[in-house]
Amino acid sequence: MAQVARKSTKWILFIILLIVAAVIIFPILVVLMNSFKANLFISSTGAFKLPDSQSFVGLANYFNGADRINFFSAFGYSLWITIASVACILLLTSMLAWYITRVKGKVTSAIYYLLVFSMIVPFQMVMFTMSKFANMIHLDNPVGIIVLYVGFGCGMSTFMFSGFIKSIPLALEEAAMIDGATPVRTFFSVVLPMLKSTAITIAILETMWVWNDYLMPYLVIGTEYRTIPVAIQYLRGGYGSVDMGAMMAMLVLAMIPVIVFFLTCQKYIIKGVLAGAVKG
């Protein structure tokens, strides 16, 4: 009897989960469906109707939208800025973390606390001066912005790297140095290989941040070079006039890489979230 009862609760729970899953997927389906409809049929009560012979426009919204905001160049900028920033963050902050963990002193601990402090400060605090300053020293281009991302990503990533480095025994590094390896050699052939799993976690967290970041690319390089979030917001245009058809199509295109990334790296993403939550 108890067995039967447990089985039926399981089915009730399953149905609850199905409903929640439907709520999660529903908005995405609405956007997908509307991306094939003419502008006129998206607004107001028509938003939830399937495309019919009257409203169906095929891929017209996709061509129109991609053309208007230059989606593929935005995709290129997003991809370049994300990959280059994350690569630089990983390399430069792992070196910094090793240095400030292994060299004890007032200076290194001051650096450590400054970095931790930077994790707390909201972007709005530095947004105005930073974007003007970046403009002054000519960092307002797709290469210069990488310097800014390294600076902003520095805090969390150095914090996580040095947390891990503290836990690895000194003996290995000392043995390498006694055998005559330079610090550079010791770092790249002894320390760096051990940092691999922490590096993957950090890479995931920084990728999620840089790819979706809107304000920094908008303020620093937004007038000339648009990343995907900036390009999408740009569709809004003047007062109230939004081409909803093109918008829907661009939202679909913007979601595809994210969903592909998630499905391929799901295991690492979940791990990253857990590590980030515990540390941050």
Partner 1 sequence: MEKTLRKYFPLFALPALICFALSFLIPMVWGFILSFCEFTTITDATFVGFKNYVRAFTVDNYFTGAFWFTLGFTIVTVISINILAFTIAMILTKNVPGTNAFRTIFFMPNLIGGIVLGWIWQVVLNGVLAGFEQTLLSNAKYGFWGLVILMNWQNVGYMMVIYIAAIQNISSDMLEAASIDGADGKTTLFKIIIPSVMPSITICLFLTLTNGFKLYDQNLALTNGAPNHQTEMLALNIFNTFYSRTGFEGVGQAKAVMFTIIVAAIALIQLIATRSREVEN
Q: 3-state class of 184 per DSSP?
A: helix
Q: What token pair was written down for 103? A: 């060299």
Give residues with Cβ within 8 angstroms of 194, minimum separation 6. 168
Find tokens 């930073």 and name the residue.
Answer: 130
Q: Does 214 bind partner 1 (CB under 8 A)?
A: yes
> Nearest distance from residue 230's CB to partner 1, in Å?
8
> Nearest distance from residue 232's CB to partner 1, in Å?
6
Q: Does 34 bind partner 1 (CB under 8 A)?
A: yes
The sign one gets for the Cα dihedral 96, 101, 104, 106 is positive
H-only helix segments in the chain: 2-34, 60-68, 71-102, 106-120, 123-136, 144-167, 170-178, 183-186, 192-194, 196-212, 215-221, 228-234, 244-279
Q: Does 205 bind partner 1 (CB under 8 A)?
A: no
> Nearest distance from residue 41's CB to partner 1, in Å?
11
CA dihedral of 7, 8, 14, 16, whole degrees rounded to 10 = -150
Q: Does 19 bind partner 1 (CB under 8 A)?
A: no
Question: Among 74, 150, 195, 199, which residue interacts with partner 1 (rule: CB under 8 A)?
Answer: 150
> Nearest distance from residue 196's CB to partner 1, in Å?
19
**Contacts of partner 1 in 55-84 (CB under 8 A):** none
Q: What token pair was written down for 57? A: 């426009």
Separation between Cα atoms, residue 236 and residue 160, nearest integer Å: 38
Q: What's the Rg (C-alpha) of the chain?
A: 24
**Contacts of partner 1 in 83-112 (CB under 8 A):** 92-93, 95-96, 98-100, 102-104, 111
> Nearest distance from residue 128's CB to partner 1, in Å?
5
Total residues contacting partner 1 by CB under 8 A comes to 97
> Nearest distance from residue 258's CB to partner 1, in Å?
5
Q: Does 261 bind partner 1 (CB under 8 A)?
A: yes
For partner 1, the closer CB: 53 or 239: 239
**Contacts of partner 1 in 109-148 (CB under 8 A):** 111, 114-115, 118, 120-130, 132-134, 137, 139, 147-148
